[in-house]
Structure 1
Amino acid sequence: MNRPLARLRRTLAFLSRYPVSADAFAGEPHPLAADAAAFPLAGCLIALPGALLLWAAVAAGLSPVTAALLAVTLGILISGALHEDGLADTADGLFGHHPRARALEIMKDSRLGTYGGLALILSVLLRVALLAEIAQASAAGGAAALLAAAAASRGGMVALWHALPPARADGIAHGQGRPDTRTSRAALCAAALGLVILGWTAAGAAGVGLALVLALGACAGFRAVLLRRLGGQTGDTLGALQQLLEIAILAGLALSA
């Protein structure tokens, strides 16, 4: 089997609800970290049905807000709300000003708290509103923006995963290994390429530049918080970063669309 294709299929099996046959996992063990260079492309494939739905809905006469809501909803269904779950758990753990051990314990709890609920609501509302702003100027631009944000935000996940040590030894991120420097650079290159090409289509050079600045700021700020509060990253915090980066990228593109 073609190795890059197998890596992409294994990544999609973890990041989405797309069906993947068992032969993609045949042979030696396949820790997710070794396949992480495929995250940006997997993000594009996860967002593609939503991007097409957004374009078709606006073309059919629906308002940009309705079209954006349908697109975001479809993306959540395809991903199985994986990153939304990480955002909610991270918000519950970090915003309560608990000590490190207690914060990690709360993040491992499947129950949804006040901070997690608010984070989910705000994440969905912001993504829908920002996507609608872009789609109002151009339906094709809105579709391209959704793809750009999906690709670049998942590349950012790999970068943070590589940069920070695991905050706990029994977490998902620790069990799946840690991307090496080559894998992290490959993911970042793919993420940057997706942001430049697709973001340029959505909002031009100014939009790409602003989206990049906001994304880098969000990533740096979140990394500092994780180091101070947890001493590293977890699977939940990687999902939370994806949500933060998607919002930051869409905001940059919307401001320039």
Structure 2
Amino acid sequence: MSISQEFLIGAAGLCVDFDERRVLDRIDLTLGEREIVTLIGPNGAGKTTLVRTLLGLQRPSAGRLSRRPGLRLGYMPQRVTVDAVMPMNVARFLRLGARHRAAVARTAARLGVEGLLGSPIQGLSGGEMQRVLLARALLRDPQLLVLDEPAQGVDVGLQAAFYRLIRQIRDEQGCGVLMVSHDLHLVMAATDRVICLNGHVCCTGRPEAVSRDPAYRQLFGGTDTRGLAVYAHDHDHAHDVLPAMGEEGAIDKGGSDA
């Protein structure tokens, strides 16, 4: 597989080994401008390892990686651990990734966390922390936004709104989005393309097609896909998302860095 320069990021034949155990096997992946791609798969499928490899944090054992020269990345990790004895409030945490205080204030207001700016980062709830991490990723004005389990810790009632917010961010900023999730049901309406991963690419395509694929059903069990339509609807109108949220180069054969 060749990787065209029209893509923001891509992988061809990507493999990752840990202690002689193959974790990722011959992964082909591309992500274009304004495209939302979601990686799904069971625990241990290699989703976070693939993201780390695409970001350059994990060296592949084989294969090729390509990123657009000068690509600006915004990364929202699955979790961040902050030392309990370190005095840091949300405003200071956000300023670590921003050049201007005004940008912090604008982004915090956009995500409904302006009221948390003076709060200690260690005292945030799970949902509050996820919104702060998303704000920090957006402060880099990314061309590619990478989100590892972005709705983790968000109340179930607000998860659909959170994913709609991500789509709205894509529409407004024109960035590409790579998301990791373990549940296709929740991201159905927010993604353009799904890659089902279990050490290798099991299936890929539009979420409706993936939900009917035998490989997907084998991984996640069952044949009843009616639940996948819960959040699916046309996107020819605007969502009042923010108030709802406020309510609550090539690389060939090389070594492996375990």
Report the TM range for the smaller structure's normalisation.
Answer: under 0.3
Whose strand proportion is higher, 1 or 2? 2
Which structure has the larger Rg? Answer: 2
Whose helix proportion is higher, 1 or 2? 1
TM-score by length of 2: 0.25
TM-score by length of 1: 0.25
